[in-house]
Copies of this chain bind each other. A is one copy, B any other.
């Protein structure tokens, strides 16, 4: 399994064409999380993300490895933006390639749940 992690301040660009393609890949599942214009009913100008970066990368790797133990996939790419993320721009991008779609969807959804729960990346609103 190929794992790529990038955490940094650059705007997130979705790869074109699709990442990590070989003849065994039948499914590519991707998630992009974007900064919305409102939080708890109040209008906001964006989000600010901070991370304890070495530990965030270790935790992301641990989560992916754990989830892959149950349902193996072929590759995972995780990109998380830090600093100010304006409304409409991406804060996170996750891509999973697998033989079939079931394991790709399972890893993608499971990863996002555990990311929010376990990874030391914090967000605050900007008004």
Listed in ascending order, the chain A residues whose CB lies under 8 Å from chain B are 14, 16-18, 21-38, 87-88, 90, 99, 101, 104-105, 108-109, 112
Asked whether A32 lies within 8 Å of B36 as measured between CB atoms, the reply is no
Q: How far is the CB of A19 from chain B (nearest CB, A)?
A: 10
List B contacts of A16 (CB < 8 A).
14, 16
List B contacts of A26 (CB < 8 A).
33-36
23 residue pairs of the A-B complex, CB under 8 angstroms, read A14-B16, A14-B18, A18-B32, A21-B34, A22-B88, A23-B36, A23-B88, A24-B37, A25-B36, A25-B88, A26-B33, A26-B36, A27-B31, A27-B32, A28-B30, A28-B31, A29-B29, A29-B30, A29-B32, A30-B31, A30-B32, A101-B112, A105-B109
List B contacts of A34 (CB < 8 A).
18, 21, 25-28
Complex: A40 Cα to B33 Cα, angstroms: 36
Complex: A105 Cα to B26 Cα, angstroms: 18
Complex: A29 Cα to B31 Cα, angstroms: 5
